[in-house]
Each structure stands twice: as C-alpha cells, then as structure tokens.
Amino acid sequence: MSRTAPIALTVVDALLLPGADAGPEWFFGWLQVGDDGRIVAMGPGEPPPDAHATPVLDAGGAIVAPGFVSAHSHLFTSGLRGIAPDSTLYPWVRSMMELFRHTEAEDMYWATLHGSLDFLANGVTSAYNFMQSGVTWLYDPSTARNVLGRVHPDEYTTRQMDGTVDAGLRAVHAIRLDDESGPEEQVLERFGRMVDAARAPERAGRDQHLGVSVMGAVQWAAAPRTAELEALVMREHGVTDQAHFVETAEGLDVQRAKFAWYDDAGALGPDLLLGHFVHPTDAMVHRVAEAGSPVVWQPTSNGRLGSGVADVVRYRAAGIDVGIGLDDQSCTDVSDPWSNMRLGLYSQRALHQDAAVLSARDVLRMHTLGSAEVLGVADRVGSLEVGKHADFVLVDHRAPSTGPVWDVVATYVLACGLRNLRATYVGGRCVARDGRATTPLAERADAELAERIERAAHADGRRLAVTAEQLVSARARGVEAARGVAGPGRLTAPEGARA
C-alpha cells in the first residue's frame, strides 16, 4: 500500500487481528505507523525492504490487535475500588457521592489521571468518560429525587478533562447538565462553557479528543424538563447523549415511566445511547430499535452491583447496535476488558441456555469497533485499518502459554488476559508496558490518589483499612524493611552471604 506520511514505526512478525469488517480476520504480517500517529500501511508477510530503516517493533509472533474501546466509563472513581462491596446501585452511589462532597478540582484531576493510566495499562486506548458532575448530588431512591450536596467551580470538571489528556488516553467527555441545581439560563450557560473547554485546542493532546456528550440524568431526575433540556443542548451544541437507564431493579416502575420523557422530548435516535438498559419492557425495546438508539452494555458492573443481566442477544436480534463499557473502576474493580468480554459472553449463553447465541467474535467486536461505532468515532478508532489511529495492544498468547491455537480469535478472547498483555500503543507510541503506564506521572499518580482519597474519607468521617502511608512505607506497617529488598516477593540473602 502507498504511504501518505513519513514512517515513525514499523511493526514486524505480528499475528495481526485487524478487527475490521473487510479483509482477512487475521494474518502474520506487518504494520507501519506514520509520524502523525496513523496507520499508513499493513499487510501479510515481510514488510517493504526499507522498513528496517525506521524504528522497528518486533512482535516476535505475538498478537497485535486494536486497543479496546470502553463505551461507558467513570474514570474519576479509580480510588474507590472495593467500596460498598455488597451494595446494590443506589447505596453504592450514595457511598461514593458522600465522599466526593469533600473533594476539590485537583483531587479530581489525579483521580481521573490515575483511572486513565489504569485503562491504558490494561489495553484500553479510548473511552467515553462520564465526568463527576459539577454538582454533587445525593440521590434518595425512596422519593426518587436528588438532594443537593455541593456545587463545585468549573475547574472541578475541566481538570478531569486534563487528567485524560495528560495520561494519553483518547476520550469522549460526558458532561452533566445539572439542570435541577439552579436557573435554566445559568445551567445552560455553564454547560456551554464546559463544551467549549472540552473542545479547546490545548486539550486536544496528540489527537486524543474524540468528542463531547451529555451525561444523561433522566434516571435521577424529578421532572420531564431534564429530558427536554438534554435534547435542546444536543441540538444546539451538536453533541450526543448517553443516559443510564433501567440499570437496576430498584424502583423499576419509576425508572420505566421516565422513558417516555426522552421519547416525548424527541431525544431518541442514533445520538442518544442507553447505558445498561438491563430492565426494559418489550415496548421500550421495540421503540429503541425503531428509533435507532444504541445500547451500551456493562456486564461486569451489572454483576458486581446485582443489577441483573441485560438481554443483549434480544437487543441485537431486534436490530439494536450494542457497545461494551468497563463502567466505574469502583464497580468493575479490575478494568480488564478480556474478563469483561468473557463475563458478558458467558452470562448470555447461560441466560439463553445456548452457546451459539453469542460468539467470541461478537464480544470482541462489541468491545472494539462496535463501541467505536455507537460512539460515532469508528472513522478514527476501533480497528487496525489504514488511515486510523495506530492504537493497538501487543499480547503474547505464549507467555504464559495458552497452548496450541485452534482458533485465533477464540484464543485471544477466551484464553488471553491481562497476564498476556505486554504493551499498549496509542498513535504508535508505547504508553504502557507489562501492566504499568510508561509516563513519569504514573508513580506520582499512585501516591497523590491515595493521599487525596484518604483526606476526603477522613472529612466524611470514614477510615481506609490500609492508610496511604502504609501502602508505601514498611515502617508505617510496623515492620523494619529488609535491606536489599528489590520488591514484594523478592528473596534477599542474609547479610554477608554471596549472591
């Protein structure tokens, strides 16, 4: 294939899984990245003769596949893994929001940076990110109403945008209207400022800006006006909307009744995505299919919170497009796209008592190109094709060994995981290796997050089981560190002994 840009990287000896609908499903071959971070050429066998004149990544026969796309994420929750471990949705959300009342803009920057780095370290290169609202709400399910917790300045939101940019993650920034927090004029003006901030050139990073969206909040709203205003800003600002909808069986009648609010507001259609959609009625499924609204599926978090199993097989049969998200790091806990695919796949097969209802290929597509499609960014990410961003993962299915390869896609989806992930590349640049982000910010992010979340917990009258200091200090754990220890689990020789 002809080149359109100077070559910045050539990947050789790769077992390529392009993830595209056209062309071979897999092949042993090569891929070249231009200095603009996009794929300029790829093919089977040996690369062009002059390939070795450029920087070369020798995959050594390992799998090279598209970076994962999380179509539904809350990156600011990275410091809350394990919180409310036995709670359903509403008490779990309340536990988090009570803590976030005590956070400031810089706390949200470090939380989002940490969450973004975690995604990259786990092979996720693009995310739809619901930012923590500029207003902290405490939802009361008994009255189906929000209680105002705290109003934050604009920087509380914009610093979350900065966290994804500084990490190197591609993102769609989702902003909540918070229309119940004040006069409509002020609410709409603030939303406009946040859209402008997200689109500002200084937040583009290395072509990382994927778009702006509304964080749909009708599930939590008290009146249909919320849906009307969301539809209004979608039109005025040219943005999409993703709503959490019928996620939990709690207060289900109230949730279902609010579906008509979106329909009456004229919001349904390809630009309104329905997140979770676990408990719809038959009429709702029919209307969503008719309108062309996609669904975004979170199998791991739905299981963790006991929300239920979304019948994705049913939605797909109705003609509804489905993407997959990793949701909050506080309810997926491990941001593992392979585990997310498998849990989703197996739950559907168990639900229908039929292993043929969904395949490994189906869930892989939904977590890559399918997610990019529902987000409207498939022209840039989601598959390895000439002209798209060179966002890919290097996965060695032989270390640890997964045995003989009967089916390349099945091996990748069913037998591989984070243990096989060697590196993540965004725009042809290595952003994570062996489970750790390569940026110098990574180590600082760990410490900043621990200290800031601990401070917020103390302000809320809570205590962490392990303190921020104990995470890093042997002395704080009440022991004297052994001299010469290189890390946890490493043996040290007695003093004076030879290695």
* pLDDT tens digits for range 200-215: 999 998 899 999 999 9
Kindly give the pairing relationship between strand 7-16 and strand 63-66: parallel
The full length of the chain comes to 499
Q: Are 59 and 14 in contact (CB under 8 A)?
A: yes
Task: Note the helical H segments in 245-294.
Answer: 252-257, 259-264, 282-291
Listed range (54-58, 140-144, 250-254, 339-343) with the worst mean pLDDT: 140-144
Q: Domains, the chain, ranges and CATH?
A: 7-66+385-437 (2.30.40.10), 68-375 (3.20.20.140)
pLDDT band of residue 473 (cuts 50, 70, 90) is: confident
Averaged confidence pLDDT in the chain: 93
**66 within 8 A of 384, measured Cβ to Cβ:** yes
Q: What integer pLDDT is reported at residue 149 of this predicted model?
A: 75
Element (H, E) at 127: strand 124-130
| Helix, strand, coil percent values for the chain (each to nearest 5) | 40, 20, 40
Cis bond upstream, residue 400 (ω within 30): yes
Q: Which residues pair with 43 in a beta bridge?
A: 30
pLDDT at 59 over 80: yes
Alpha-carbon distance of 24 to 363, in angstroms, equals 18
Angle at 186 (CA atoms; ends 73, 153), nearest 5 degrees: 55
Residue 499 predicted with pLDDT over 50: no
Residue pair 53/25 in contact by the 8 Å Cβ criterion: no
For residue 120, the model assigns a pLDDT of 98
Residue 495's pLDDT band (boundaries 50, 70, 90)? low
Whether 417 contacts 338, CB under 8 Å = yes
pLDDT band at 2 (very low <50, low <70, confident <90, very high): very low
5: pLDDT strictly greater than 80:
no
Q: Which residues of 22-47 are buried (b: 16+ CB within 10 A; e: fewer)?
A: eeeebbebbbbbbebbbbbbbeeeeb
497 pLDDT more than 60 = no
Per-residue model confidence (pLDDT) at position 334: 97
pLDDT (mean) for 177-183: 91
- What does the DSSP 8-state code read for residue 143? T
Output 4 or 97, whichever has higher pLDDT.
Answer: 97
Q: Where are the beta strands (DSSP E) in 344-498?
A: 392-395, 421-426, 429-433, 436-437
Q: What does the pLDDT average to over 302-308?
A: 98
Is residue 310 within 8 A of residue 277, CB to CB? The reply is yes
Strand pairing category for 429-433 and 421-426: antiparallel
Please indicate whether residue 361 or residue 149 has the higher confidence score (pLDDT). 361
- The helix-helix angle for 441-459 and 105-121 (nearest 10°) equals 130
If one counts every other C-beta atom within 10 angstroms of the C-beta of residue 146, the result is 20
Can you tell me the mean pLDDT for 114-134? 97
pLDDT class of 138 with cuts at 50, 70, 90: confident
Amino acid letter, 92? W
Which pLDDT does position 493 carry in this prediction? 55
Measured at the CA of 37, the angle between CA 34 and CA 40, to 5 degrees, comes to 40
Cα 362 to Cα 344: distance, rounded to the nearest angstrom: 11
Residue bearing tokens 């591989």: 416
Give the DSSP letter of residue 24: -
pLDDT of residue 498: 43
All residues at 6 or more sequence positions from 449 whose CB lies less than 8 Å from its CB, including other chains: 78, 79, 110, 111, 114
What's the pLDDT score for residue 440?
94
Q: How far apart are CA 295 and CA 314, in angstroms?
A: 12
pLDDT above 90 coverage of the chain, percent: 86
Q: What is the DSSP string of 227-241?
A: HHHHHHHHHHHT-EE
Q: How far is the C-alpha of 356 from the C-alpha of 341, rounded, in Å?
A: 16
pLDDT tens column, 360-376: 999 999 999 999 999 99
Q: Are 452 and 103 in contact (CB under 8 A)?
A: yes
DSSP H helical segments within 268-422, as ranges?
A: 282-291, 299-304, 312-317, 337-352, 360-366, 369-375, 408-410
**Block residue for tokens 């243990």:** 419
Cβ neighbour number for residue 386 with a 10 Å cutoff: 18
Is the model's pLDDT at 1 over the cut of 50? no
| Interaxial angle between packed helices 89-100 and 441-459, expressed in degrees from 0 to 180 and rounded to the nearest 10 | 100
| pLDDT beyond 80 at 488 | no
| pLDDT tens per residue across span 389-432 | 999 999 999 999 999 999 999 999 999 999 999 999 999 999 99
First to last CA, the chain: 54
